[in-house]
Amino acid sequence: MEIEQQVWGFTPAGEAVVLYMMRSASGATVSLTNLGAGVVSLTVPDREGRLADVVLGYDRMESYLNDPAAMGKTVGRYANRIARGVFRLDGQEYRLAQNNPPNHLHGGPDGFGNRVWEGRVETNRVVFSLISPDGDQNYPGAMGVEVVYDWDDDHTLEITLLARADAPTVVNLTNHTYFNLAGHASGSVLGHTLRLNADRWLPTDVTLIPTGELASVAGTPMDFREAKPLGQDIEADFEALCFGGGYDQCWVVRDWSQGTLVEVGQLCDPVSGRSLTIASTQPGVQIYTGNYLQGTPAGKGSRPYANRDGVAIECQGFPDAPNHAAFPSQRLEAGEIYERHIVWKFAVC
């Protein structure tokens, strides 16, 4: 395993943005940056052994500054939405920015995805760390966070998300990479097939806040228990698809239990033959079919991305869990270790 690093540029505040590349024995690579502790590129072979970059992203470091698509980034303190930016903890109300009106999204306008993290190289891994002070974006408690990326010669990337706070708080971390297994510049992903190990999903209101119901996928466009093309039902006359402009919902991972790594599902591109199998210790998975990618900065190779050119598969806690006592808790006690794992295994289908 080779790991190279270079300064990519500097933020307006003068912070160094570093690019890290991990290269396996076969030549497959993962490129990461400390700006948002994110994934910039990921090259893996197709069924003929040809390498291609299968994640969306930008050539220019500046495009990642306050990127509304959160391209490849680690998002938090709380990934996804919190209703009206309000939650209560131990009897105290906390009010967060409504940066996705009327809701709070991905930790706010200065969430973790928009920070420059400290980066370091260890044996076969890259580690990013961040200190989030008490009151950061109005969240309680000072919090230390680490994101660990492990890449191996078997084309498997493991992401470990760690956090610890000095006071009770809430936390929900995930990675926000958009995949296109045909190659990042290949256009629509609606021909990709997706299978999810999920029998239930979370219906939402029109602002994409869960109602609290865990609904069966049976007989609905939300049923991915058997692999089907992402585009098969995306235009169906179904309320949730109208609300999100396509898929932008959370599914309940089957057989989830705290701390247990379980298979979430598999994405496959039938043209290139590349497949991605996802496993996680998280209770939910948000599928977002890039319904509003148009208008983002020019992508790699100056390729403008269109809507649905990538799909984000975000393993995470449930949206708005601090306001739903029946959801798996995202509360973190003082001194407790938050540890979650996401594993991406690339192969051919």
**Beta-sheet pairing, 143-151 with 125-132:** antiparallel
Q: Which CATH number goes with the domain that contains 29?
A: 2.70.98.10
Angstrom distance (rounded) from CA 171 to CA 156: 26
pLDDT of residue 123: 87
Measuring CA to CA, how many Å separate 125 from each of 35, 100, 158, 279, 337?
17, 34, 10, 19, 21
Burial 290-320 (b: 16+ CB within 10 A, else e): bebbeebbebbeeeebebbbbbbbbbbbbbb
239 sits in which H/E element: helix 239-244
Digitized pLDDT (tens) for each residue of the chain, 349 residues in all: 899 999 999 999 999 999 999 999 989 999 999 999 999 999 999 999 999 999 999 999 999 998 999 999 999 999 999 999 999 999 999 999 999 999 999 999 999 999 999 999 998 899 999 999 999 999 999 999 999 999 999 999 999 999 999 999 999 999 999 999 999 999 999 999 999 999 999 999 999 999 999 999 999 999 999 999 999 999 999 999 999 999 999 999 999 999 999 999 999 999 999 999 999 999 999 999 999 999 999 999 999 999 999 999 999 999 999 999 999 999 999 999 999 999 999 999 9
Residue 101 sits at φ, ψ, to 5 deg, of -45, 130
pLDDT recorded at residue 1: 81
- Closest residue by Cα to residue 96 from 322, 335, 300: 322
Task: Evaluate whether 345 touches 155 at the Cβ level (below 8 Å).
Answer: yes
What gap in Å lies between CA 91 and CA 135, rounded to an integer? Answer: 17
Quick check: pTM over 0.85? yes
Active site residues: 176, 314
Beta bridge partners of 147: 128, 161
Domain containing residue 293 = 2-348
Nearest-CA neighbor of 287 among 348, 221, 345? 221
Composition of the chain by helix, strand, coil, percent to 5? 5, 40, 50
Task: Give yes or no for a contact between 191 and 231, defined as CB atoms under 8 angstroms apart.
Answer: yes
CA atoms within 13 A on the CB side of 273: 9
Alpha helices (runs of H) in 153-264, residue ranges in sequence order: 239-244
pLDDT at 322: 98
Six-digit token pair at 109? 């306008």
Task: Tell me how long the chain is.
Answer: 349
Separation CA 285–CA 138 (nearest Å): 26
**Structural domain total, the chain:** 1
Contact by Cβ (8 Å): 285, 264: yes
